[in-house]
Structure 1
Amino acid sequence: MTKAEEELRLRLARTLAANGHLRTQPWWDAVESVPRHEFLRGGFFDRIDGDGPTAWTPIMPDTPLWLERCYEDESLVTQIAGTITPGDLRGEIMRAPTSSSTMPGLVVRMWEDLQVEDGHRVLEVGTGTGYSTALGCHRLGNDHVVSVEVDPGVSGRAGTALAQCGYRPHLVVGDGLAGYADYAPYDRVIATCGLVSLPYAWIQQTRPGGIILATLGGWMFSSELARLTVHKDGTASGPFLGGQISFMLARPQAPPPLGLLPNLDEGEERLAALGADVINDWDTRFVAQVAAPGAQRISLDRDGRTEHLLIDVTEGSWAALTESDGRWIVRQGGPARIWDDVETYVLLWREAGSPTLDKFEITVTPEEQRITWQKA
C-alpha cells in the first residue's frame, strides 16, 4: 500500500463518518483496510451528459485521476448492457448500465444498519465488484460471508480481486433470489440489488430473530431500504429506513417489455381527482406503487399533447392522463382501473398526514407482501 492509497482510504473513512454513514470502529477499520481501487482495476464508465440519450465512456487505471475517483463517495458503473466492461470499449456507448460499484457511503451505511455482531453468518445477494464483500470479510471473517452473484463474469472478476486482497469468502454463481440453502441458516441477509418483492426463500434461510436488509420498490422506480426481522412463525416484518435508496433491480424482477401499446382512444374517461404530476414526488410515487405494483410509467407526445401512461403489461390494464386548462382527464382500460387505485391510496395517505417513508412498514408471509404506514 502506497502512502497515497493510505491517505485516500483515511480520507474516505473521514468523509463517510462526517456524513453519518460510518458509525462504529469495526467498520471504520474495514474502510481503512480494504483497497476499493483493487476492485476497480478493470476500470469504470463515466457518464457523458448531453441533450440526447445518456452516453458512457471508459475510465481505465492509466487515466489521470483514476485512483482518486476510486475513493470518491460515488457509484461507478462497471458493466453496460449485461456484458460490456470498460476494457471492451474505445469511445462511447449508449446502453443501460447493468452492474456497478455502489457508492461507499451507501455500502457502509447498509452494513451498519444490518447490525452484525461477531460470529454472525451473512448472506450477501449481489457480489458486484466484491468491495462490499471484502468489507464484510474484514469485519466477520471469510468463513462467515456467503456472496451470490448471478453473472459469472462479474463473480469471477470479484473473486480475483478478493483473493488478491487476501479475502476468500464463499462465492456462489447463481440466482440470489433463491438464496443459498447450503450454508443456511443465516443470521443476516443483505441485498445490493433492488427488489419489487422480497423472496420468501430468504426468510426460510434466516434464523428466527435474524435480520434481512433490502431495498424494495417498484417499476415506477421509487424505492426504500427496509430492515425486516424474521419471526418464529415464518413471517418477517420491519420498518423502512428512509433516505431514497435505490439500486439496479435484480434481473429476474426487471419490468417486462411494454410491447404494443393499447389503443389509448378507448377506455372509460373521467375527470381525475389527482393529476399525473403528483407522482413526480418520490414518496407519492412510492404510495402509487403500493396501489399498482405491476404498473410501469411512461410519457409520450400524441396529437400535440403529452400523455402520461401507467401500464400493467401482465394484467392488461392501463391509464392515460392528460392535462387541459388546468384540469386532468384520465382514460382507463383493461380489467382493473389503475388510476382509481392510485387515487384511493394517495388520498388515504394524505389523510394520514402524508407520513414520510420511514413511517412505512413491510410484512412478508408465504402468501403476500404487505406495505402499510403509520400516521404522521
Structure 2
Amino acid sequence: MTELDLDKTAAGLRLELVELLTAEGQVTDPAWRAAVGGVPRHEFTPRFYVTSGAPGMTTYVPVTPELVGTEAWLRKVYSDETLITQFDGRDTDWSDPQPIRGASPTSSSTLPSLVVQMLEALDTGDEATVTEYGTGTGYSSALMCHRFGAEKVTSVETDPGVAARARAALERCGYAPRLIVGNGLVGAGRSDQAARTIATMGVRGVPWAWLRETQPGGLIVATLRGWLRSLGLVRLVVEDGRRATGRFLAGSAFMMARQQEAPTNLGMLPGDDDGKVRETPHGPEVLRMPDSGFVAQLAVPNARTFDMPADDGAMRTYVLDTANESFAVLSRDGDGWTVREGGPVSLWGEVEQSLALWHAADSPAATEFEVSVEPDSQRVRLANGEDGPSWRLPAVPSS
C-alpha cells in the first residue's frame, strides 16, 4: 500500500468513525466531529495491544502493520476501542512483540467515544484555554489543538518516554502545544488560570491544584476512581477558587494516576481463625455490579478486593483496607454468604450500611450523585440531599 493509499484509507475510516459516534449520540458538536475527522489517530498509535477476547486470563495481543497488514491495522486504529501502548510502566520490545498476560496497562489511546464524551462535557467555545492531565499517546491533545489551537492547550504527562512519543506524534501532525513532564497531581505550574481542566486518568480525589489553576466559573472534567475500580466521570464548576461542585456524568474506565495506584504489597493476609464470622445479605457481586459497586467504593475508599481459593478449593473474596488493616472475607454458605471480619473497622458493615441507605433512596444511578470539593473535604452525596448521607473521598497530597 503506498503512502497516498494509506492516507486515503485512513481518511475514509475516520469518516466512518465520525458517522458511528454521531449515530450513537457520542458526538453532537460539529467542531468535535471535525476534530475526530481531521486528526490522524494512526500517527499516535503506530503499534499497540488489544485484548484477545479469549476465555481465561486476560491476554493482550500486539497489532502492527507488519503483523496484521496495513489495512487491518488501520481498521483497528479507527475502531471505537482502547489501544494499549504500555504495560507496568515499561516500554514494549517491538522488535519481537509477543502476547502479554498478567500485566497491567499503564498507557493507552482511550476509546474515542469516551474521549469525545469528555471533550463535549467541557461545554466550551473555540477560544478556551485548556489544561489536560495525562497526555498519553497525545491523541486527545491533538483533538483539542484542532479545536482550540495548539497555543491554547497545555498537557501534563508523568512518564518521560510516553511524553516524548506524544510530542513526536503531535509534531508530525503539525501541533505544538505546551507539554510538561511531571506529576499532574500538583498542577501544571501555570502562571495564569485555564478556562477548562480535563484529566484523562483516574484520581481518588480531585487535586486542589486543579482548582487553583482553573478560572472561577471554569469547568473540571475528570474521572474519580477507587481501588475497587469503580466511580466515574464527573464535571465540576469552580465557584470561587475555594470550592467546586458538580455531579457524576457516567461511568469511566481510565487508568489510575500512577501516583495513586494501590500499594503493591497486600500485607499479611488474615488467617482462617482471624476475625468473627456472621451472616451477610450481600455477596461479592455487589462489588462488581456498576451501581452497587459505585456505592461500595464510596463506603470503603481505601479497600482492595481479590478472590483466592481456600484449602478446600472453595473460592473466597477478600476485602482489605490498606489504611487501617481491617479485613473482610466472604465465603459461600449454602445459598447465602458469611463474612469474617477483623480490625478496627467493620469493613463489610460499612458496605452493608451504605447499600441500605442507597436502597432506601430507591437505588439511584451514579448520575444522581453530586460531588463537592473544598480545601479540607471532598464529599459525594445524593443530588438535593444536603441533609442526607454523604461519603468522604480520599485526600490528594498537594506535593
Under a length normalisation based on structure 1, what TM-score does the superposition of the two structures give? 0.95
**More divergent stretch after superposition (79-88 vs 289-298):** 79-88
Structure 1 residue 353: deviation in Å?
0.2
Q: Secondary structure at the match of 1:234?
A: coil
Match of 2:221 in 1: 213
Match of 1:77 in 2: 84
Contact 2:201 2:255 in 1 (8 A): yes
Aligned counterpart in structure 1 of residue 50 of structure 2, from 46, 53, 66 = 46
Match of 2:376 in 1: 367
**More divergent stretch after superposition (249-258 vs 132-141):** 249-258
Q: Secondary structure at the match of 1:241?
A: strand
Cα 1:153/1:279, change in 2 over 3 Å = same
Runs of at least 5 residues in structure 1 that lack an aligned partner in the other structure: none
Distance in 2, matches of 1:34 and 1:341, equals: 47
Distance in 1, matches of 2:143 and 2:98, equals: 33
Cα 1:86/1:184, change in 2 over 3 Å = farther
Match of 1:246 in 2: 253
Match of 1:341 in 2: 350
Match of 2:30 in 1: 25
Contact 1:352 1:374 in 2 (8 A): no
1:119-138 matched pairs, under 5 angstroms: 119-138=127-146
Contact 1:125 1:191 in 2 (8 A): yes
Q: Secondary structure at the match of 2:36?
A: helix
Distance in 2, matches of 1:67 and 1:101, equals: 14
Structure 1 residue 46: deviation in Å?
2.9
**More divergent stretch after superposition (277-286 vs 204-213):** 277-286
Distance in 1, matches of 2:297 and 2:61, equals: 34
Match of 2:232 in 1: 224
**More divergent stretch after superposition (91-100 vs 44-53):** 44-53
Q: Secondary structure at the match of 2:271?
A: coil
Structure 1 residue 313: deviation in Å?
1.8
Distance in 2, matches of 1:280 and 1:344, equals: 17
1:81-100 matched pairs, under 5 angstroms: 81-85=88-92, 87-94=94-101, 95-100=103-108
> What is the letter of the counterpart of residue 286 of structure 1?
F
Aligned counterpart in structure 2 of residue 265 of structure 1, from 273, 276, 282 = 273
> What is the letter of the counterpart of residue 18 of structure 1?
A
1:228-307 matched pairs, under 5 angstroms: 228-232=236-240, 234-242=242-250, 244-257=251-264, 258-304=266-312, 305-307=314-316
> What is the letter of the counterpart of residue 29 of structure 1?
A
Distance in 2, matches of 1:314 and 1:286, equals: 20
Q: Secondary structure at the match of 1:110?
A: helix
**More divergent stretch after superposition (161-170 vs 273-282):** 273-282
> What is the letter of the counterpart of residue 279 of structure 2?
L
Contact 1:58 1:87 in 2 (8 A): no
Contact 1:58 1:89 in 2 (8 A): no
Contact 1:226 1:241 in 2 (8 A): yes
**More divergent stretch after superposition (171-180 vs 298-307):** 298-307
What percentage of residue pairs aligned between the two structures are identical? Answer: 43
Structure 1 residue 233: deviation in Å?
5.4
Q: Deviations over 1:304-349 (max 9, x none)?
A: 2222111012211111111212232111111111111111111000
Match of 1:144 in 2: 152
Contact 2:224 2:231 in 1 (8 A): yes
Distance in 2, matches of 1:194 and 1:25, equals: 28
Cα 1:276/1:5, change in 2 over 3 Å = closer
Structure 1 residue 88: deviation in Å?
4.7
Structure 1 residue 184: deviation in Å?
3.4
Structure 2 residue 16 is the aligned partner of structure 1 residue 11: yes
Structure 2 residue 56 is the aligned partner of structure 1 residue 56: no
Distance in 1, matches of 2:237 and 2:383, equals: 18
Cα 1:280/1:315, change in 2 over 3 Å = same
Match of 2:39 in 1: 34
Distance in 2, matches of 1:8 and 1:50, equals: 27
Structure 2 residue 178 is the aligned partner of structure 1 residue 178: no
Aligned counterpart in structure 1 of residue 326 of structure 2, from 308, 317, 339 = 317
Contact 2:286 2:296 in 1 (8 A): no
After superposition, the CA RMSD in angstroms is: 1.7
> What is the letter of the counterpart of residue 254 of structure 1?
E
Distance in 2, matches of 1:362 and 1:87, equals: 43
Q: Secondary structure at the match of 2:94?
A: helix
Structure 1 residue 108: deviation in Å?
1.0
Would you say how many aligned residue pairs link Structure 1 and Structure 2? 374
Contact 1:235 1:363 in 2 (8 A): yes
Aligned counterpart in structure 1 of residue 340 of structure 2, from 326, 331, 337 = 331
> What is the letter of the counterpart of residue 196 of structure 1?
R
Under a length normalisation based on structure 2, what TM-score does the superposition of the two structures give? 0.90
Contact 2:211 2:241 in 1 (8 A): no
Structure 1 residue 209: deviation in Å?
0.6
Q: Secondary structure at the match of 2:331?
A: strand
**More divergent stretch after superposition (82-91 vs 158-167):** 82-91
Distance in 1, matches of 2:124 and 2:92, equals: 33
Distance in 1, matches of 2:53 and 2:249, equals: 31
Structure 1 residue 12: deviation in Å?
1.1
Structure 1 residue 366: deviation in Å?
1.0
> What is the letter of the counterpart of residue 251 of structure 1?
R
Runs of at least 5 residues in structure 2 that lack an aligned partner in the other structure: 386-399
Structure 1 residue 161: deviation in Å?
0.6
Q: Deviations over 1:107-142 (max 9, x none)?
A: 111101111222211110011111100000010011
Q: Secondary structure at the match of 2:179?
A: strand
